[in-house]
Amino acid sequence: MTAPSSNARKHESGNPLLRAVLGHFTRTVCRVVNERRPRSVFDVGCGEGYMLSALRKTGIDAALFGIDHSPAAIAAARTRLGDGATLEVGDARQLVPGRRHDVVMMLEVLEHLDDPAPMLDVLDALSCGHVVLSVPHEPLFRGLNLLRGHHIARWGNHPEHVGEFSRREFLDFVRRRFDVVAAPWVPPWTLVVARARPRYPVPT
């Protein structure tokens, strides 16, 4: 039997404090996505489908899509969502350019990438409206891990995290490619809603 992923353990945790902060985060993501009134939502790194499931429960009137590199995660997401979303195993960086989505989400993924900068171009290519992005809010995230006695040898840094962003650093990072329109307060994460910049035709 495959061990649950760290994402699944987080979402299935019985810790009341974690459930409270994660619940606030999830409700905030659902709110900002619904405020965009999207016709389609694409979750990049959707994991086991927890956020897509939460969005569907809000009654969102949008086609839902997700991609994740883990076959086990996608299998769990298909069980959770049934025919409520179109899901695939794969790497978004290798997608052939095609359909653009009104909202593209990438939640708690960028900190796992050795070089997250190229992902901004991928997200822009997938989006025709807004992106909703999040990362751990450092150093707050690490500090809270230390207080809980987690990852002491790594000074609170999760073993799967290879990159770190303070809130300001993440906002500046997103602004390299997008116009930030909102950054709701959802500690211990930084959440950003941004708009794709207009694409102008290349002069011939």
Residue whose token pair is 């902060």: 21
Residue 109 included in any domain: yes
Identify the CATH number of the domain in which residue 98 sits. 3.40.50.150
Would you state the pLDDT for residue 8? 84
Q: At what angle do helices 16-35 and 50-57 cross, to 10 degrees?
A: 60
Would you state the pLDDT for residue 141? 61
Residue whose token pair is 């751990």: 136
Query: What is the full per-residue pLDDT of the chain (204 aa) written as tens digits?
Result: 567 787 887 788 788 887 988 999 999 999 999 999 999 999 999 999 999 999 999 999 999 999 999 999 999 999 999 999 999 999 988 886 778 999 999 999 998 788 999 999 999 999 999 999 999 876 666 555 555 655 555 544 565 566 788 999 999 999 999 999 999 999 999 999 999 887 655 555
Residue 203 included in any domain: no
Token code pair at residue 178: 């997008």
Residue 142 included in any domain: yes
Question: How far, CA to CA in Å, does 41 sit from each of 50, 106, 116, 126, 131?
Answer: 14, 11, 21, 10, 10
Burial 35-49 (b: 16+ CB within 10 A, else e): ebebebbbbbbbbbb
Q: How far apart are CA 60 and CA 57, in angstroms?
A: 8
Helix (H, G, I), strand (E, B) or coil at 195: strand
Residue 201 included in any domain: no
Residue 138 lies in domain = 6-196
Vertex 60: Cα angle to 57 and 62 (nearest 5): 130
Nearest C-alpha neighbor of 30 from the set 12, 52, 15: 52
Residue 18 included in any domain: yes
Q: How far apart are CA 94 and CA 85, in angstroms?
A: 20
Would you state the pLDDT for residue 61? 95
The end-to-end CA distance of the chain, in Å, is 58
Residue 1 included in any domain: no
Would you state the pLDDT for residue 140? 61
Residue 58 included in any domain: yes
Torsions phi, psi of 69, nearest 5? -75, -15
Residue 204 included in any domain: no
Question: CB-based contacts of 104: which residues, under 8 Å, 6+ apart?
Answer: 41, 42, 44, 123, 126, 127, 130, 131, 132
Q: Tally the domains of the chain.
A: 1
Nearest C-alpha neighbor of 76 from the set 30, 15, 12, 29: 12
